[in-house]
């Protein structure tokens, strides 16, 4: 998987060396010699990853990273801090300002490329979710994810049979999160299906194969998106690289440093919550795309797709499908006499009465205005007509409350009923139902007219 990588370092030979190595691996490389330029390039070019040196004059890497993560345009770009500093405080500070990883010079090429590939995969998923969220925003489904970016209060599953190590991790995490320890990998796989924000897995465990366990977690639909923090001896390069290849999100070197544990856990939980937020907004956007905002019923788009499929199955010998096409009588006079707010109250109450008088498998939909359709899979003409008359009677039985309940209106409805026959199309079926509505209105309204083919 290729990617566009921005390399930021004030020492030109370092920039050229990294550029050459990355280019040989078929990455597209952008370069900057200072933090200010890096911010401009990142905002304009939107690279997939930023390799950022810490020790730079003026704006150092920590401040540059902080600004990148504070800007909505660039906060989703993974940042790997690259520096000669190897102190614990610098590493924690880097993670604290939002860096996704921290590597030291001289750079281990194999480790760096493994990290880059892992972060590129993650960013590809996040980009897709963000793009779909933006599509939802353009459709009018707006949101603010800032409240989802907290990195505390996470549900953490520690999978480790080293009691001393897992106990220390649990003690440190308990101040901010809700950690539990599981020593049995089979039980841990079951626990991973639940609401888990982060898994910490000892891939160097002596009691079970930690790498195989990671593979099992990633192969399960219920847990494959859960972030994994792998505890591994940094000297065990083959195991470390295999863990990254299998899809762990981050590496926690042994012996576990409490501050680094907290910083990396916080970062992964924050990222998980934002990904969940984007997915929820995507699901909501998709729901809104097929739902009428006023009544909560399905809309014309959803009805058309479902009816097409049902008519197609009926044409191939499957169950028939019936439709009820209905139009609220004299609805224009409601708007003219009482205003559109009252009209909306009528439409919402109509939707409630409609939905409560059809079967669970039926699809009540609003076409627009005062027009509604019910799609009834498996229903014959006579059965559909009986349901239609039940709806008609319930509509006229009680006045519709308007003006906040201070007044009531008597409302009636005209309904046309049609059922599928051989060679039918959705358009033909709806047309027969529509003709039934016109006939009902012509004969005085508040009637059900069933139209055979």
Per-position b or e across 368-377, b if 16+ CB within 10 A of its CB: eebbbbbbbb
The number of CA neighbours under 13 Å toward the Cβ of 246 is: 24
164: preceding bond cis by omega (within 30 degrees): no
Structure tokens at 431: 């047309």
Helix and strand counts by DSSP (H, E) for the chain: 15, 17
Q: Which residue has the tokens 């009540």?
A: 364
Distance of CA 364 to the CA centre of its chain: 27
Asked if 450 and 417 count as a contact pair (C-beta separation under 8 A), the reply is yes
* Cα–Cα distance for residue pair 240/246, rounded to 1 Å: 10
Question: Among this protein's residues, is 245 annotated catalytic?
Answer: no
Cα–Cα separations (whole angstroms), residue 435 to 213, 350, 353: 63, 22, 23
Asked if 201 and 251 count as a contact pair (C-beta separation under 8 A), the reply is no
Which is catalytic among the residues 182, 370, 427, 435? 370
Could you list the active site residues? 370
């Amino acid at each position: 998987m290729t990617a566009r990588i921005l390399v930021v370092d004030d020492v030109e030979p370092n920039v050229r060396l990294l550029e050459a190595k990355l280019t040989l691996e078929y990455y597209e490389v952008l370069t900057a010699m200072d933090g200010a330029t890096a911010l401009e390039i990142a905002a304009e070019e939107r690279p997939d990853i930023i390799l950022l040196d810490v020790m730079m004059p003026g704006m150092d890497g920590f401040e540059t990273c902080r600004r990148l993560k504070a800007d909505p345009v660039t906060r989703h770009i993974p940042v790997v801090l690259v520096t000669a500093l190897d102190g614990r405080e610098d590493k924690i500070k880097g993670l604290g300002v939002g860096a996704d990883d921290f590597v030291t010079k001289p750079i281990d090429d194999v480790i760096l490329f493994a990290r880059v590939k892992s972060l590129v995969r993650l960013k590809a998923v996040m980009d897709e979710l963000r793009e779909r969220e933006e599509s939802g925003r353009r459709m009018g489904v707006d949101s603010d994810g800032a409240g989802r970016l907290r990195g505390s209060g996470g549900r953490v599953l520690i999978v480790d049979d080293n009691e001393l190590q897992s106990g220390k991790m649990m003690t440190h995490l308990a101040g901010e999160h809700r950690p539990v320890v599981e020593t049995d990998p089979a039980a841990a796989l079951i626990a991973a299906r639940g609401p888990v924000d982060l898994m910490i897995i000892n891939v160097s465990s002596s009691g079970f194969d930690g790498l195989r366990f990671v593979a099992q977690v990633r192969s399960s639909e219920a847990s494959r998106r859960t972030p994994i923090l792998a505890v591994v001896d940094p000297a065990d390069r083959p195991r470390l690289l295999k863990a990254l290849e299998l899809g762990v999100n981050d590496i926690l070197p042994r012996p576990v440093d409490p501050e680094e544990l907290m910083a990396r856990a916080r970062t992964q939980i924050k990222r998980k919550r934002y990904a969940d937020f984007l997915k929820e907004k995507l699901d909501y956007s998709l729901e809104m795309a097929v739902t009428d905002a006023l009544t909560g019923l399905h809309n014309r788009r959803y009805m058309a797709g479902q009816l097409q499929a049902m008519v197609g199955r009926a044409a191939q010998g499957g169950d028939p499908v019936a439709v009820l096409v209905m139009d609220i009588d004299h609805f224009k006079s409601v708007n003219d006499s009482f205003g559109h707010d009252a009209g909306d109250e009528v439409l919402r109450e109509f939707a409630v009465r409609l939905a409560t008088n059809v079967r669970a498998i039926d699809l009540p939909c609003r076409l627009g205005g005062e027009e509604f359709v019910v799609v009834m899979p498996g229903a014959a003409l006579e059965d559909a007509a009986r349901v239609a008359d039940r709806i008609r009677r319930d509509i006229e039985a009680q006045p519709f409350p308007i003006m906040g309940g201070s007044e009531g209106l008597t409302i009636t409805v005209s309904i046309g009923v049609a059922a599928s026959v051989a060679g039918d199309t959705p358009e033909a079926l709806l047309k027969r139902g529509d003709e039934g509505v016109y006939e009902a209105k012509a004969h005085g309204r508040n009637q059900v007219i069933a139209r055979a083919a």
